[in-house]
């Protein structure tokens, strides 16, 4: 493993330290510059024998960059719309900058990129964004009441503009901090307001939103019930249409990440597309270029949410290694993608999705080689025994068994990485998470394949009908498994949020154990190699 010997590791640690220092102390850019300068001076003067002075100075500079980059994010522009968030009724004009999200209370919520605001003193040009919640009865453009807001539409909204209230429970998350991480500092609710549609949007965002709406309608035509909503959740991350009891079952079984268009979904898409391109004998370099382009197209289609962008950047960095004549290293790829994301948005570090994504990916990268080495050693021992399995049936059974074991091991690795984060934010521990993930992750691959075939070839009578039937069966099995496992009273247990000291201690102990296990694995591999060479001589 040798994390300390990887150049990106100390750089990532220094940058994250700068983010945490600026965020926890709420430093201004000027104060952050002074603090960072002191750290750089200390790194250049203090004698540390274990680390070269140049590396220490570089870490200090990276710490300063993270400090300044984060502290600058707290500065609200002078013409931001939040300057007028006094809790009074205003007319706000702007364009919808996110996919509108229907809610259970009949309202719809979206981000509005503000252009101007009209108060009782006049109308003023503004910038920034506001989180707008509009109830459906208030939509009456062009004397109609069935208008559905769409990405890119320009609107004029009458409502109450205010800053988010602090949480009633100090231990719970702050909605204001959540919005601030997205550079949004105010919200608007229009329970009795009037909204006027000024025009439709244009550009790439509008085109992808239109295509997404067409795809959603097509899925509902093929699978009209919850099975269609499940397929949309896997392909696009649109799980909001699923009933609350189904969403609760996914949460209790620890499989909700499968409906968030995250890294696993991107990995499945890459495997399917890579298999198709290889069968078309596309050169490897062009194949990687096409995979990167298709991945970003999928990310835009899925709404370009934080989780899908994180996964797309990870995959892009990994696929670009071959194009740059470099050996692909998953650990370096993950650290580089994390740095890119934090450079663009430092406060993403405090996003629960960011923490869960990288904790799961890093755990899988570090734990899976150990588990695979253990299985390899068991297979080598079994290989010394007389072979008794012949025929297509036994080979298929053995292949299926290996995939089931791989799914179980993958679930164990991901659970080890995300356990304290899940307990800290959601206050529960899923008992059936490993079993549910092992059973469902294999079905996700099959559902993705059948779903894509049914969408592309539904015009063919035989292939399209068979794909739709297969997708319906698989989706039904997934829903049955998740609801059955999540329906037990003992499927998850409520826990108190652990302290950040305990979380850091957990990951420190886990890294120490993994480092020791990796060294043992390397030594055993060398011993077996030397023994083989002596036997050959």
Torsion of CA 69, 73, 76, 78, to 10 degrees: 30
Report CA dihedral (26, 28, 29, 31) to the nearest 10 degrees. Answer: -100
Within a 13 Å sphere around the CA of 388, how many CA atoms are in the beta-carbon half?
3
Q: Is pTM beyond 0.85 here? A: no
- The pLDDT, as a whole number, for residue 390 is 54
Which pLDDT belongs to residue 139? Answer: 45
Tell me how far apart the alpha carbons of residues 186 and 84 are, in angstroms, rounded to a whole number.
Answer: 9
pLDDT per residue as tens digits for the range 124-168: 999 999 999 887 654 444 344 455 677 888 888 888 898 887 765
Low-confidence ranges of the chain (pLDDT < 70): 1-5, 47-51, 104-106, 136-148, 167-173, 191-195, 201-205, 238, 240, 260-265, 302-307, 327-328, 378-397, 399-400, 525, 527-537
Give CA separation, 439 vs 403, 416, 445, in Å: 11, 18, 11
Query: What is the pLDDT, as a whole number, of residue 181?
Result: 77
What pLDDT, on the 0 to 100 scale, is given for residue 345?
83
How is the chain split into domains, by residue range? 3-73, 81-201, 212-381+401-498
pLDDT of residue 142: 39
Q: 81-201 has which fold?
A: OB fold (Dihydrolipoamide Acetyltransferase, E2P) (2.40.50)
pLDDT of residue 285: 85
Residue 33: the pLDDT is 78
Q: What's residue 129's pLDDT?
A: 92
**pLDDT for residue 114:** 93
Q: Across-strand partners of 142? A: none
Spatial separation of the C-alpha atoms in residues 132 and 213, rounded to whole Å: 21
Find the DSSP H helices in 186-283.
Answer: 204-222, 226-236, 244-252, 263-279
């Amino acid at each position: 493993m040798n994390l300390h010997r990887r150049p990106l590791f100390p750089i990532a640690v220094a940058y994250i330290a700068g983010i945490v220092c600026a965020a926890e102390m709420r430093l201004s850019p000027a104060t952050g510059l002074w603090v960072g300068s002191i750290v750089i001076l200390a790194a250049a003067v203090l004698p540390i024998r274990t680390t070269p002075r140049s590396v220490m100075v570089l870490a200090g500079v990276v710490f300063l960059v993270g400090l300044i980059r984060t502290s600058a994010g707290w500065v609200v522009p002078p013409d931001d719309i939040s300057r007028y968030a006094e809790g009074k009724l205003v007319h706000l004009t702007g364009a919808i900058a996110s996919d509108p999200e229907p809610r259970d209370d009949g309202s719809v919520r979206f981000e509005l990129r503000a252009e101007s605001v009209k108060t009782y003193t006049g109308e003023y040009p503004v910038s920034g964004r506001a989180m707008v919640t509009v109830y459906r009865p208030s939509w009456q453009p062009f004397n109609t009441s069935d208008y559905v807001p769409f990405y890119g539409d320009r609107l004029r909204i009458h409502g109450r503009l205010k800053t988010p209230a602090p949480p009633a429970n100090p231990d719970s998350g702050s909605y204001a901090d959540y919005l601030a991480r997205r550079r949004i500092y105010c919200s608007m609710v229009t329970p009795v307001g009037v909204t006027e549609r000024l025009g439709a949007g244009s550009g790439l965002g509008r085109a992808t939103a239109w295509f997404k709406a067409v795809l959603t309608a097509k899925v509902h035509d093929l699978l009209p019930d919850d099975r269609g909503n499940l397929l949309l959740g896997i392909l696009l991350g649109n799980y909001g249409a699923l009933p609350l009891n189904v969403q609760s079952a996914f949460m209790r079984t620890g499989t909700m990440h499968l409906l968030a268009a995250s890294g696993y979904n991107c990995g499945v898409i890459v495997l399917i597309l890579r298999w198709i391109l290889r069968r078309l004998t596309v050169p490897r370099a062009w194949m990687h270029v096409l995979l990167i382009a298709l991945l970003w197209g999928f990310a835009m289609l899925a709404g370009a949410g934080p989780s899908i962008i994180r996964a797309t950047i990870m995959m892009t960095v990994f696929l670009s290694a071959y194009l740059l004549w470099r050996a692909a290293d998953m650990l370096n790829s993950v650290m580089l993608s994390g740095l890119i994301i934090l450079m663009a948005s430092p406060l993403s570090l405090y996003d629960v999705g960011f923490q869960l994504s990288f904790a799961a990916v890093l755990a899988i990268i570090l734990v899976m080689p150990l588990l695979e080495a253990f299985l390899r050693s068991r297979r080598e021992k079994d290989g010394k025994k007389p072979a008794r399995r012949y025929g297509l049936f036994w080979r298929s059974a053995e292949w299926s068994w290996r995939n089931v074991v791989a799914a179980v091991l993958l679930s164990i690795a991901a659970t080890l990485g995300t356990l304290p984060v899940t307990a800290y934010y959601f206050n529960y521990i899923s008992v059936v998470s490993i079993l549910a993930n092992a059973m469902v992750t294999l079905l996700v691959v099959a559902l993705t394949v059948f779903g894509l075939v049914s969408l592309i070839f539904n015009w063919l009578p035989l292939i399209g009908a068979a794909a739709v039937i297969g997708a319906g069966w698989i989706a039904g099995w997934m829903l049955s498994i998740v609801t059955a496992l999540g329906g037990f009273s003992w499927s998850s247990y409520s826990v108190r949020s652990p302290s950040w000291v305990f979380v850091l201690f957990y990951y420190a102990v886990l890294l120490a154990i993994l480092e020791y296990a990796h060294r043992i694995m390397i030594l055993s591999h060398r011993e077996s190699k030397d023994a083989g060479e002596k036997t050959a001589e």
